[in-house]
């Protein structure tokens, strides 16, 4: 039985499709929309449609963008000899926030996860290899998540890329800044020891 | 109730913003799923303990008849460092985990399977080559644990041992029975099957003959000998087994058919496919 208006129920259903939103939260959000000004609601609706209409994947790096190629791929100031390989567009955002990396990106669209049925053919690996066949790439940085799926993808890519003769590196793994050594587990600590650097 | 058990992490999936739902194969309760709250946070107390292919000491709030338990604590017993850092070892270990995950149901205790899984991971960590042997050994032993132990030592019809018909050509492996039939008995067996199907059985069941034929696989004596050793030899000696590429292909195909015969829902093992694809690529290079 519907206890509220049908349109509120419909909006609740729509919100509940979003990741991490249960029915109760969806209902709360729908009621919040009821209380919003009409202009704000129209702006929200326009923003949703605009995202769907304008945003696409960059044909070079597969990052999300409104203009194809994306602003990173077309930026003449970026270092075109280095490509950083990441899993998702959110990883590009995280790396850009550091202001440390000035090269180009390649978004794979996930990581190898045979246990979930995700194989190499489900990732944008062919596109990466095609990109590398062009001249001028000197280094590939593998910046994948430090979990089993990320590790499997890193090892798989390194097997594919090393024979191509370019420098293949990976980002460091180990202890996060601000944690206590005594609470770190064996696996994390041993990786931190392996990746130690001279100072 | 707060409960402790040893476990092997089978797989994990993201849950909400910072948590994980982890599938374990435990010594005491078989396969179970648990929520690890905050496991994806940078300062999580779980660290790397919830990564697949890790042997852990698990503490959880367990309630019967609940699909999802709450993980309280998880400490690493064996991190399997080499498995996590070498692609071939990793994909071999993943295919073992994939098989366990596919063939087991929640909370069905099987201590023998837990020991086999643990022993196989230990050996995958220790072995220096031919990791795929351990995967095949695991597959055939797992079939045995589920009640489908194949009889590979003698002909299921006349009782002759494998050595006695070694020079007579290929034998037949009856997938449904898990028995081998020597080259001399194979034609008679086929004739008996034909008579059963076409002379005595009602016409409605005759259409099944093609399935009957598919449930038999030709198998060379060399492959039979390797399968015997994969099944009987101690796990620590399995990775030393050497055989030709053709025999390897035959072992792979036979085991795939045998498992599919007895476990209808079994999907192809993606990890093993990737493992074999990369191994072939390396051997060509």
C-alpha angle B116-B120-B123 in degrees, rounded to nearest 5 = 140
- In the CATH hierarchy, which fold is given to the domain comprising A78-180+186-192? Dna Topoisomerase Vi A Subunit; Chain: A, domain 2 (3.40.1360)
Task: Determine whether the interchain pair B76/A186 forms a contact, defined as Cβ–Cβ distance below 8 Å.
Answer: yes
Q: For A89, phi and psi rounded to 5 degrees?
A: -55, -30
Question: Confidence class of residue A24 from pLDDT cuts 50, 70 and 90?
Answer: very high
In-domain check, residue B86: no
Number of compact structural domains in chain B: 2
Give the model confidence (pLDDT) of B8-42 as tens digits: 999 999 888 889 999 999 999 999 999 999 998 88
Please report residues of B whose CB lies closer than 8 A to that of A117: 267, 270
Distance CA(B45)–CA(B54), nearest Å, equals 16
Residue B121 and residue B65 in one domain: no
Residue B280 and residue B206 in one domain: yes
In-domain check, residue B14: yes
Residue B106 and residue B169 in one domain: yes
In-domain check, residue B88: no
CB A174 within 8 A of CB A192: yes
Distances (CA, A) of B127 to A141, B131, B274: 30, 7, 20
ipTM over 0.90: no
Residue B63 and residue B171 in one domain: no
- As beta bridge partners, residue B21 has B13, B35
Contact residues of B toward A, CB < 8 A: 10-13, 16-17, 42-43, 45-49, 51-54, 75-76, 79, 81, 84-87, 90-91, 94-95, 97-98, 101, 267, 269-271, 273-274, 278, 282, 285
- Give the mean pLDDT of B123-135: 95
Percent of chain A with pLDDT over 90: 71
Residue B75 and residue B104 in one domain: no
Bond prior to B173 in cis (omega within 30° of 0): no
In-domain check, residue B186: yes
Residue B212 has pLDDT above 50, yes or no: no
CATH class held by domain A6-54:
mainly alpha
Domain with CATH 3.40.1360.10 in chain A: 78-180+186-192
A58 three-class SS: coil
CB B270 within 8 A of CB B278: no
Residue A193 burial class via C-beta count within 10 angstroms: exposed 0-12, middle 13-18, buried 19 and up: exposed
Distance CA(B142)–CA(B117), nearest Å, equals 9
In-domain check, residue B265: yes
In-domain check, residue B115: yes
Residue B16's CATH number: 2.40.50.140
Question: Confidence class of residue A179 from pLDDT cuts 50, 70 and 90?
Answer: confident
Distance CA(A127)–CA(B233), nearest Å, equals 45
Residue B160 and residue B129 in one domain: yes
Q: In what order do the strands lie in the sheet with A139-142?
A: A104-107, A82-86, A139-142, A167-170
Question: Confidence class of residue A133 from pLDDT cuts 50, 70 and 90?
Answer: confident
Residue B48 and residue B171 in one domain: no
Give the model confidence (pLDDT) of A61-90 as tens digits: 999 999 999 999 999 999 999 999 999 999
Note down the domain range covering B133. 98-284
In-domain check, residue B143: yes
Name which of A168, A185, A188, A195 to mutate to probe chain B: the one with the most chain B Cβ atoms within 10 A of its Cβ: A185
Distance CA(B81)–CA(A186), nearest Å, equals 10
Domain with CATH 1.10.8.420 in chain A: 6-54
Residue B120 and residue B9 in one domain: no
Residue B202 and residue B279 in one domain: yes
Residue B110 and residue B24 in one domain: no
Residue B209's CATH number: 1.20.1440.120
């Amino acid at each position: 039985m519907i206890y509220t208006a049908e349109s509120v129920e419909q909006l609740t259903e729509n919100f509940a499709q979003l990741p991490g939103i249960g029915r109760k939260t969806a209902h709360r959000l729908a009621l919040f929309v009821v209380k919003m000004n009409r202009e704000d609601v129209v702006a929200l609706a326009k923003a949703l449609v605009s995202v769907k209409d304008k945003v696409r994947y960059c044909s070079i790096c597969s990052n999300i963008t409104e203009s194809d190629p994306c602003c990173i791929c077309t930026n003449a100031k970026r270092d075109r000899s280095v490509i950083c390989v990441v899993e998702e567009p959110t990883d590009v955002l995280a790396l850009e926030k550091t202001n440390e990396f000035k090269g180009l990106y390649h978004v794979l669209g996930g990581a190898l996860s045979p246990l979930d049925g995700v194989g190499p053919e489900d990732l944008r690996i062919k596109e990466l290899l095609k990109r590398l066949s062009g001249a001028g790439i000197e280094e590939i940085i593998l910046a994948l998540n430090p979990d089993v799926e990320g590790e499997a993808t890193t090892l798989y890519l390194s097997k594919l890329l090393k024979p191509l003769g370019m420098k293949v590196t990976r980002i460091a793994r180990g202890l996060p800044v601000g944690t206590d050594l005594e609470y770190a587990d064996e696996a994390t600590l041993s990786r931190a020891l392996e990746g130690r650097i001279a100072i | 109730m707060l409960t402790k058990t040893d476990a092997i992490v089978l797989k994990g999936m993201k849950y909400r913003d910072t948590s994980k739902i982890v599938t374990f194969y435990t010594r005491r309760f078989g396969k179970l799923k648990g929520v690890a709250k905050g496991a994806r946070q940078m300062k999580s107390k779980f660290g790397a303990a919830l990564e697949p292919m890790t042997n852990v000491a698990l503490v959880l709030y367990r309630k019967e008849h609940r699909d999802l338990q709450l993980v309280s604590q998880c400490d690493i017993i064996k991190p399997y460092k080499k498995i996590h850092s070498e692609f071939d070892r990793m994909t071999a270990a993943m295919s073992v985990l994939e098989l366990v995950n596919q063939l087991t149901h929640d909370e069905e205790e099987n201590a023998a399977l837990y020991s086999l899984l643990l022993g196989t991971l230990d050996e995958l960590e220790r072995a220096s080559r031919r990791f795929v042997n351990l995967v095949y050994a695991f597959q055939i032993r797992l079939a045995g644990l589920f009640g489908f132990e194949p009889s590979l030592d003698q002909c299921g019809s006349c009782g002759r041992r494998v050595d006695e018909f070694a020079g007579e050509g290929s034998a037949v492996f009856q997938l449904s029975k898990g028995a081998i039939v020597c080259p001399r008995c194979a034609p008679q067996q086929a004739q008996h099957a034909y008579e059963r199907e076409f002379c005595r059985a009602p016409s409605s069941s005759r259409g099944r003959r093609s399935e009957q034929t598919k449930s038999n696989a030709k198998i060379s004596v060399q492959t039979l000998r390797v399968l015997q050793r994969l099944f009987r030899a101690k796990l620590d000696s399995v990775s030393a087994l050497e055989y030709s590429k053709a025999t390897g292909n035959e072992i792979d195909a036979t085991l795939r058919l045998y498992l599919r015969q007895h476990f209808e829902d079994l999907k192809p093992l993606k990890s093993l496919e990737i493992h074999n694809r990369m191994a072939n690529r390396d051997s060509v290079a």
